Amino acid sequence: MKMLTIALLALTGLVGLATEPALAEKAVITDVTGRRVELDLPAKRVLLGEARQVHVVAALKGDKTFETIVGWRDDLVKKDADTYVSYRDRFPDIEKLPRFGYVGNGTFDLEAAIALKPDVLTLNLESVKAAEEASLVEKAEAAGIAVVYLDFRVDPEKNTENSIALLGEIFGAEDRAKELTDYRRAQIARVTDRLAAAKPAFPKVFIERSPGISGDVVCCRTFGPVNFGRMVELGGGHNIGSDVITGTFGDLNPEQLVLANPDHVIVTGANWAAESDVNQFVNVGPGADPKAARQRLADLMQRPAFPGLKAVKQGQVHAVWHQFYGNPYDFVAIQQFAKWFHPELFADLDAEDTFRDFHQKFLPVAYRTGYFVSLEAGDM
């Protein structure tokens, strides 16, 4: 019934924030899967198959972020609630935007999407298999909707710049997309160039993916040589997950963690109250309470295998905002990692200042602290 109501409202023009941009021209673009996609650019009506793509759209469009967005997936509310609040406060009408489920788990309603008459549907690379099984691309194209795949998560080092450029074309912001890419490159180089010159020893790092969000919180979901695993390496650390995991995610058993005995432990966290069934996660992100985050982080270090680790004994335990793993703000995490791993070498580098500067230059929402936290003396 809800989707039917959305569809009816859309057909009467009462839903969505879209306005008519400049005249579009027929073009062919190549998405991150290598598909050639024909569509009118810039698009007049865009459906975001992942709402967290707004992190990029906002950097490209600023005050006009939602000008041509007619709907989005429900993941921003569920997985990045504090960011959603920031954008809702700045753009109150986004509460009216129709929300959709996820293609990857079969909850995306294509009929309701078609009713919104989008020109283009942007999907994440993880959705390819499910979309193929459901013949989603063919059905969407039959309804006049172009499907474009993006990727900021599976292999961000390979696909991030292309995905930014694709969104730049879709939203008619090619110059801004180049500015964003140039800024990101320069901020990463502030770390990698100095590491290349100094050649310090890389400490061993264990980065744990979203502990405390659901079910068994014992241990030890982590990252292979991409995504956060790659950010650790770019920040001057040796990601121990890469020693045994070849893909994006995987599991270490507690014995492997104890044997590796890392110099640093990092957990990823966010405000997952909307979907967590255990609420033991570390809430870091825009506006997060550092005292509460430290307590959650200290509690997680009481799990079996952790108290005896070198990192825990020496107080080298940290939390980082999980959403850095799915948007091109990864340069902020890389800078913070470098500061944690090599504090003397990067004494003059402040990731918070970098992210604040980025907000001022690119984003239509105000910067709020809270993206990182570390344990202090007496926290354990």
Residue 23: predicted pLDDT:
60
Residue 376: predicted pLDDT:
76
What average pLDDT score do residues 36-46 get? 97
Average model confidence (pLDDT) across the chain: 92
Residue 8: predicted pLDDT:
35
Residue 19: predicted pLDDT:
46
Residue 14: predicted pLDDT:
38
Residue 270: predicted pLDDT:
95
What average pLDDT score do residues 348-373 get? 98
Give the lowest-confidence range in 66-75, 191-200, 221-230, 272-281. 272-281
Residue 219: predicted pLDDT:
82
Residue 311: predicted pLDDT:
97
Give the whole-number percent of the chain exceeding pLDDT 90: 88
Q: Which residue has the higher pLDDT, 20 or 312?
A: 312
Which of the four pLDDT bands, split at 50, 70 and 90, describes residue 276? Answer: confident
Which of the four pLDDT bands, split at 50, 70 and 90, describes residue 25? Answer: confident
318-328 pLDDT, tens digit each? 999 999 999 99
60 has pLDDT over 80: yes
Strands 120-124 and 46-48: parallel
What average pLDDT score do residues 228-253 get? 95
Output the 3-class SS for the chain.
CHHHHHHHHHHCCCCCCCCCCCCCEEEEEECCCCCEEEEEECCCCEEECCHHHHHHHHHHHHHHCCCCEEEEECHHHHHCHHHHHHHHHHCHHHHHCCEECCHHHCCCCHHHHHHCCCCEEEEEHHHHHHHHHCCHHHHHHHCCCEEEEECCCCCHHHHHHHHHHHHHHHCCCHHHHHHHHHHHHHHHHHHHHHHHHHCCCCCEEEEECCCCCCCCCCCCEEECCCCHHHHHHHCCCEEHHHHCCCCCEEECCHHHHHHHCCCEEEEEECCCCCCCCCCCCCCCCCCCCHHHHHHHHHHHCCCCCCCCCHHHHCCCEEEEEHHHHHCCCHHHHHHHHHHHHCCCCCCCCCHHHHHHHHHHHHCCCCCCCCCEEECCCCCC
17 has pLDDT over 60: no
81-127 pLDDT, tens digit each? 999 999 999 999 999 999 999 999 999 999 999 999 999 999 999 99
140-182 pLDDT, tens digit each? 999 999 999 999 999 999 999 999 999 999 999 999 999 999 9
Which of the four pLDDT bands, split at 50, 70 and 90, describes residue 1? Answer: very low
What average pLDDT score do residues 204-226 get? 88
